Chain A
């Protein structure tokens, strides 16, 4: 069965960076991509962007361009998301979700999610 296991909770100071990992199993990692979604306290779901584990292409939501970097390590079937220049508004639970391998795809829905990683930004 598909499993996405994320790294543990993090506490960071404003201005710092954080990297969250998402280790995939139960499917061929390079046949798919990974999207990242977050939920801040009291807020809704917000999509940050996507990376293809097939070819390494990325697509970032405009709001996060320049501050978020997504990478993959195909040797360990792991996706990573780094957020830099953290502010208090970045306090959220961050989720990874299995997505399609190619940008522009229509109709691929998030049936498989990681358990979430709480990132707290506080001085």
Chain B
């Protein structure tokens, strides 16, 4: 099974940098995803880490440490439109059925203020 923890809420100022942490305890691991979800909308993919280290994609970066069961999502130059929930999700090892189901955390609601 998987247990995924992330802060419930965060507030940051427009133009600033914010780091959203995610810790996980898993019986298996086959990659970690970050998704963004605006209220009432579908989750949209932000990043994928399967090896240790930092993945950078524009204003968004994601870091993974498999030995520590830890990831963070870094958002730079915050914009008002970045106000959303950010979901950390872990993919378990393939059980043999070929399923790559994701186990999601509860999400971190980020509010960007002027």
- Do A and B belong to a common assembly? no
Residues of B within 8 A of A (CB): none
Residues of A within 8 A of B (CB): none
